[in-house]
Structure 1
Amino acid sequence: MTKQINISILYDQLLIAEGFKAILSNVNGLHVSKLTENNAKYNQSINPLEIDLFIIELSDISKQNIEYVNCLRESFPNQKTLVVSGSLTRELLEYLISIVNGYMLRTCSSEKLILAIHEIIENDNFLCSQLIPILFDNNHKNGFNIDLTKREKEILSLLYTTNHNSEIAEILNISQTTVRTHLKNIRHKSGNKNEVQMMRYACNKNLLKENCIPLCPNCRFYYKKNGK
């Protein structure tokens, strides 16, 4: 039996929060436990044992709201977070997805909201495909280079086009332990670069497989050139 996902919706706009609840209440396996206005004082009454995921609806991405999200993450480090708001700059988007598990636009469909919840619970991250062009804006080139071996480049390319280390190991005919060692070396060489920067680096350096367009609609979802 699939474990029920308990969700708490934190909102700026009650109407939108009620819409989310109405949608999710009709989905098997999802339970919205409560709606709470965005306020650090109100959040003190939340029992973390009753929550798997916070959906945080923000009217805009302001400095104050980012500080609020940071505060929430510090208060509930074991709960996953999905932020829903409007479009934003590349710099703000990069920062936000480094502190939350997912980000999507209010203009996304109800199906995308449900997909986001499951992706975050199962894989820890989700990014609305409409935001990918912001991250991969060709006017913003990576200002760094990493001295990777041929094998490390293969590992890095597969990291963003497969679901598990076991798949990488099978494709390259190596052990999962060896895969983990290569990933550790890549992270050591990349220093403090976050996953978004590394993903953009792999795309800009054309490290992805030849049958893939180097603009991923999500880290682990990619388009093939033949459209399939």
Structure 2
Amino acid sequence: MIRLYFVDNHPLILEGLRALLKGAPDITVAGQARNGATCLSFVSAHAIDLILTDVCLPDIDGVDLCAAIKVAHPSIKLLALSSCRDVKYITEMIAHGASGYMMKDADREELLEAIHTVYNGGTYFSPVVSQLLGEGKKHHLTRREKEILSLIAEGNTNPEIAEKLFISADTVNSHRKNLLAKLEVKNTAMLIKYAVDNHLLV
């Protein structure tokens, strides 16, 4: 059973999510919050598998919430649900722990697909999000991301990359997830192939 938690500032969205998931045999809605602080308090006292959160919250934004959750509860999966189409926010959500990003106009079928994909360790992006990430994916790589991409291609593990660049393994993992999101690939093998095909290795 997937224990799900919602975070959104709008009561209608929260009610709508509950209605969409009603009858799903393997999902239980463990709770909901309208701000990040309530969410953080709840997950400290209850077992949660996956949090579905908006980017824009009244106290802290979704990026900071993702970062805080991953520090305190690294096993919890995070999935962004938003109407925001800003690539900056999308990539920051992924870099700080979200395993996917979907739009609020998603239907029940897409919502279930996203939840199951993320719960099972994958990443999920709504089609429009994949398009947004793909439009300028070559141009949004930072110097650090290019360094990490090259080290990944050389076969280095996260701890090995962390040691070479004098950063933490968690930071390397965040960059790796961000690269998968930006380059719109699903795993390391596809990441390396894309980097080689598009001459992205430094």
TM range (shorter): 0.5 to 0.7
Q: Among 51, 55, 65, which residue is 2:52 paired with? A: 55
Structure 1 residue runs of 5 or longer lacking an equivalent are 154-181, 208-228
**In the aligned structure 1, how far is the partner of 2:113 from the partner of 2:101?**
12
**Counterpart code for 2:102:** M
**Counterpart code for 2:67:** N
How big is the shift at 1:47? 5.2
**In the aligned structure 1, how far is the partner of 2:4 from the partner of 2:124?**
16
Query: 1:28–1:204: structure 2 CA closer, same or farther, 3 Å change rule?
Result: same
Report the more deviating stretch, 47-56 or 6-15: 47-56
SS in 1 for 2:157: helix
Q: Among 73, 83, 90, which residue is 1:86 paired with? A: 83
CA displacement, residues 4-50 of structure 1 (integer Å, 9 cap, x when unaligned): 11111122111111111111121111111222221414631445543
TM-score, normalized by length of structure 2?
Answer: 0.67
Q: Which structure 2 residues correspond to residues 119-198 of structure 1 after superposition, within 5 A?
A: 119-138=117-136, 140-141=138-139, 142=141, 144=146, 182=155, 184=157, 188=161, 193-197=175-179
Q: What percent of counterpart residues are identical? A: 17
Aligned residues: 172
Structure 2 residue runs of 5 or longer lacking an equivalent are 166-171, 184-190
**C-alpha RMSD of the superposition:** 3.5
**In the aligned structure 2, how far is the partner of 1:86 from the partner of 1:44?**
25
More helix per residue: 2
**In the aligned structure 1, how far is the partner of 2:46 from the partner of 2:70?**
15
CA displacement, residues 58-83 of structure 1 (integer Å, 9 cap, x when unaligned): 4x389941323333333332211111
State which structure, 1 or 2, has the greater radius of gyration over its C-alpha atoms: 1
**Alignment correspondent of 2:188:** none
**In the aligned structure 2, how far is the partner of 1:21 from the partner of 1:80?**
19
TM-score, normalized by length of structure 1?
Answer: 0.60
